Chains A and B, each alone.
Chain A
């Protein structure tokens, strides 16, 4: 069982154009900023929206293919959907919610309710079977929404920000439970999230969706080791610089020059880790640091014993220094200074 989806769709300001593949039994996390098109992509896969162009197939069966005028209705796709706000049916009990899909598929009532009870037992909610959805906590409602989707044995399970509506206290527990259930789920799954912790805990691979395009796909370790978008760099907390490498220097479009140790010529990306940046008030003489960039402090964030200093200039950077250093330098917003980095501390890879 595998999913291949080429999706092209324009909706208002969103211009979605992606190509993804989910392998048999795989859990793929879809990570990206708000408005990137994550939910719209899920709706296309579920059949709640039709693609303008492209082709969605599961096991080479076309679910949506405008070129062939093929469109399979959502109810015939065997694609489960767990909505962000769970959308449990308020006028039914919890067990009736879980049995809904089976009933809709023609399973006799008694049998459907029995199966639904088993599912509830599996997630430890058997005692809430007769409750109304509005009596559930967020974590419980999330589990009910999950087993309601799983009870129909979908080939593909879509989860739209499954943990976003939960408070921090319950999120970790629900995340662990969700991981367990996705492990035992045999179909494919796509989890939309904007929290890399969720992606790390739940998914085998991560796809980064930004402004309607997949900018990076791979394991979370691969993606974070070599960010290819500002979004991922911000998630990981590193400075990402793009430019052209020639003769040991990476030149950015804004005119900054970054001296690097060694890298093949051509369009490249470089990451500068905030803790490898030193800040000095006066231009350093006789330093081993090959890079000295002038800049202006625009923001200082204190995080415990460390402080993150945002610097504007030809090369915008975030540096991380100790609060002790911050205080001895008496840094304020608006101060002019120099940021220095050793060429060997900069990691460069082809764009």
Chain B
């Protein structure tokens, strides 16, 4: 993934490019405008503070933050391995770990079910030995979200690690720093912007996760019904509330992306161009 600074000069942009781009922007803007237009502004606060909405919002926050944390704990070592260690089948491993980015989330949910469900290849032992059941639990939501979100962190961090000049790590080692100390004090600060960007992307993806969650964890208010599920459900019973909840999701996503664009993507981009040899 390469993030570039927008060019400053605009002279000489062909009209048809501008026109097509304008259509694209409109295409993205119209749904938001539509929601804003139909939003029941007078009742918005009431809908938002309804118990069911607050429960879903809280659950979404808790689960997506857990999913982000798990993505960092397991994804950073994975990214490091993919970026720094030559091993047989590395491309296959990378493809496997990135697959959930392109897989329909529902398929991911079904696959998780056969892996971690009560009859699943691993799930049956979790059930038998530890009395641990993941499907249709809050933990299941976290698993489903981590499954789809972690690749976003891994690709971002792996790219940053690849761009990082390894002589910084070499220098640290010759100064007496262990691998772990080197990673904490040299590598991590250097890839910090990318790690932050990757975490934010993973978090945003986890927050919006729908397909894998509803397949693997179901739709139980209070335990597995996250915001996207609540929006979907409300569409049947209370379309006005669905609009309000949808707008909340849009506001959160928009805020994350705007913050990323200014604070991290540009920094991460300039960081990569500064690598000197």
Cβ 8 A contact of A100, one of B177, B190, B277: B177
- In the complex, are the beta carbons of B276 and A48 less than 8 A apart? no
Q: Which residues of B contact A295 (CB under 8 A)?
A: none
- B24 at interface by CB-CB < 8 Å: no
Interface-side segment among B47-55, B147-155, B165-173, B238-246: B165-173
- In the complex, are the beta carbons of A83 and B167 less than 8 A apart? yes
Cβ 8 A contact of B189, one of A91, A104, A148, A149: A91
Min CB–CB distance A214 → chain B (angstroms)? 23
Q: Which residues of B contact A46 (CB under 8 A)?
A: 170, 174
Alpha-carbon separation in the docked complex, A101 to B177 (Å): 7
Interface-side segment among B110-118, B125-133, B178-186: B178-186
Q: Count B-side interface residues using an 8 Å CB cutoff.
A: 19
- In the complex, are the beta carbons of A105 and B174 less than 8 A apart? no
Within A28-77, the residues touching B (CB, 8 Å) are 43, 46-48, 73-77
Cβ 8 A contact of B174, one of A89, A91, A149: A149
Q: Which residues of B contact A152 (CB under 8 A)?
A: 175-176
Given contacts A89-B168, A100-B185, A104-B181, contact A48 B174 (CB under 8 A): yes
Cβ 8 A contact of B277, one of A74, A85, A91: A85
Given contacts A75-B176, A101-B177, contact A83 B190 (CB under 8 A): no
- In the complex, are the beta carbons of B176 and A101 less than 8 A apart? yes
- In the complex, are the beta carbons of B276 and A85 less than 8 A apart? yes
Min CB–CB distance B179 → chain A (angstroms)? 8
Min CB–CB distance A142 → chain B (angstroms)? 14
Within A76-104, the residues touching B (CB, 8 Å) are 76-81, 83, 85, 87, 89-91, 100-101, 103-104
Q: Count A-side interface residues using an 8 Å CB cutoff.
A: 27
Given contacts A83-B167, A85-B276, A87-B168, contact A100 B175 (CB under 8 A): yes
- In the complex, are the beta carbons of A74 and B173 less than 8 A apart? yes
Main secondary structure of the interface of B (DSSP, over half): helix
Min CB–CB distance B34 → chain A (angstroms)? 45
Min CB–CB distance B277 → chain A (angstroms)? 7
Interface membership of chain B positions 247-271, coded 1 if the CB is closer than 8 angstroms to chain A and 0 otherwise: 0000000000000000000000000
- In the complex, are the beta carbons of B175 and A148 less than 8 A apart? yes
- In the complex, are the beta carbons of B177 and A104 less than 8 A apart? yes
Q: Which residues of B contact A77 (CB under 8 A)?
A: 174
Alpha-carbon separation in the docked complex, A280 to B267 (Å): 67
Closest to B181 in A: A104
Min CB–CB distance B245 → chain A (angstroms)? 41
- In the complex, are the beta carbons of A100 and B172 less than 8 A apart? yes
Given contacts A100-B175, A104-B181, contact A81 B276 (CB under 8 A): no
Chain B CB count within 10 A is highest, among A73, A80, A87, A152, for A87
- In the complex, are the beta carbons of B168 and A74 less than 8 A apart? no
Q: Which residues of A contact B168 (CB under 8 A)?
A: 87, 89
Q: Which residues of B contact A75 (CB under 8 A)?
A: 173-178
Alpha-carbon separation in the docked complex, A343 to B170 (Å): 54
Cβ 8 A contact of B176, one of A43, A85, A91, A104: A104
- In the complex, are the beta carbons of A149 and B173 less than 8 A apart? no
- In the complex, are the beta carbons of B175 and A85 less than 8 A apart? no
Cβ 8 A contact of B165, one of A76, A87, A149: A87
Alpha-carbon separation in the docked complex, A85 to B168 (Å): 10
- In the complex, are the beta carbons of A83 and B171 less than 8 A apart? yes
Alpha-carbon separation in the docked complex, A138 to B207 (Å): 48
Min CB–CB distance B257 → chain A (angstroms)? 26
Closest to B192 in A: A91
Min CB–CB distance B185 → chain A (angstroms)? 7
Alpha-carbon separation in the docked complex, A128 to B18 (Å): 50
Report which B residues bind A (CB closer than 8 A).
Answer: 165, 167-168, 170-178, 181, 185-186, 189-190, 276-277
Beyond the given A75-B173, A101-B177, A104-B177, please list 19 additional residue pairs across the A-B interface where CB-CB is below 8 A.
A47-B174, A48-B174, A73-B173, A74-B174, A75-B176, A77-B174, A79-B174, A80-B174, A81-B170, A83-B170, A87-B171, A89-B171, A90-B190, A100-B172, A100-B175, A100-B185, A104-B175, A105-B176, A149-B175
28 contacts between A and B (CB under 8 A): A46-B170, A48-B174, A73-B173, A73-B178, A75-B174, A75-B176, A75-B177, A79-B174, A81-B170, A81-B174, A83-B170, A85-B167, A85-B277, A87-B165, A89-B168, A89-B171, A89-B185, A89-B186, A90-B190, A91-B190, A101-B175, A101-B176, A101-B177, A104-B172, A104-B175, A104-B178, A148-B175, A152-B176
Pick the 7 closest A-B CB pairs, nearest first.
Answer: A101-B175, A104-B177, A81-B174, A74-B173, A91-B189, A87-B171, A104-B176
